[in-house]
Structure 1
């Protein structure tokens, strides 16, 4: 039997690594961490005790081509404040889909990165 400890990282394909870095570093303020010298182009971020790896696809292709659909592959981050997250996204001009009273049992906010990868932010109701 496999004994699972935790998810180590999530990897996303991006078309342009420099543009993706601006979005994740400057807009979302993710913390960049050191990446081994792989032959591929990429950037790694720490997200709490986990990691997000962005990998530049040499073909310039990513999997998604459409708008937000929460049944598509995505990753979710628990945030301290729903209200502050919505305010920040509005301030920096990132379009989002807000579900403040989601049937999930917590508030949800969905955004797309520059390559249509879905990011979900979750928070307690009324936080």
Structure 2
């Protein structure tokens, strides 16, 4: 007994849709962060800032022109400092980089040691913001005025 033409057509259509969906799903992988570029006025000063405060590790950079420093951010990618920014740039706090540490009090102690001002989101000096999920966060600026957030979200992931 031959199967009805309708059933054969339905099977072929289902197979084609299934194959098409599999191909479409494979091409819709999310993009992965590769690097963040931060334009700076003083490469030496900014390098020291990020190494000392955030303990970022330098990695090889291909240009070797004295205008670039690259740091690893682990699985998150890299951060590139690029020399050439003009001193007059004003940065908005809404545009910031965020790093997580295991202890906000220990990090605050380092900021105090280095005489770096910090505040919570509304701007109250020397006070962390405590988010609704219990994460503590503080905000401060790098030597070029780029805003940074440091929080203890990594502690809350466990």
Bigger CA radius of gyration: 2
1:114 aligned residue (132, 143, 147): 143
Q: How many residues align?
A: 121
After superposition, give the CA deviation of every residue in 1:12-40 in whole Å (9 maximum; x if it has no partner): 11011112112122343211111112657
Quote the Cα distance in structure 1 between the aligned partners of 2:78 and 2:87.
20
Instruction: Summarize the alignment of residues 7-86 of structure 1 with structure 2, pairs less than 5 Å apart.
Output: 7-37=33-63, 41-49=67-75, 50-57=77-84, 60-61=85-86, 64-65=89-90, 69-71=92-94, 73-86=95-108
Query: Normalising by the residue count of structure 2, what TM-score does the alignment of the two structures yield?
Result: 0.64
After superposition, give the CA deviation of every residue in 1:74-116 in whole Å (9 maximum; x if it has no partner): 1111111111111111122221114242347511111100000
Which structure has the highest helix share of the two? Answer: 2
Whose relative contact order is higher, 1 or 2, with alpha carbons under 8 Å and at least 6 apart?
A: 1
**Residues 63 and 51 (structure 1 numbering): CA distance in 2 closer, same or farther, change over 3 Å?**
farther
**Residues 75 and 2 (structure 1 numbering): CA distance in 2 closer, same or farther, change over 3 Å?**
farther
Which structure has the highest strand share of the two? Answer: 1
Q: Determine helix, strand or coil for the equivalent of 1:120.
A: strand
Structure 2 portions without partners, runs of 5+: 1-26, 121-127
Quote the Cα distance in structure 2 between the aligned partners of 1:47 and 1:111.
19
Runs of 4+ in 1 over 6 A off after TM superposition: none
Quote the Cα distance in structure 2 between the aligned partners of 1:48 and 1:27.
17
Query: Normalising by the residue count of structure 1, what TM-score does the alignment of the two structures yield?
Result: 0.78
Quote the Cα distance in structure 2 between the aligned partners of 1:42 and 1:104.
38
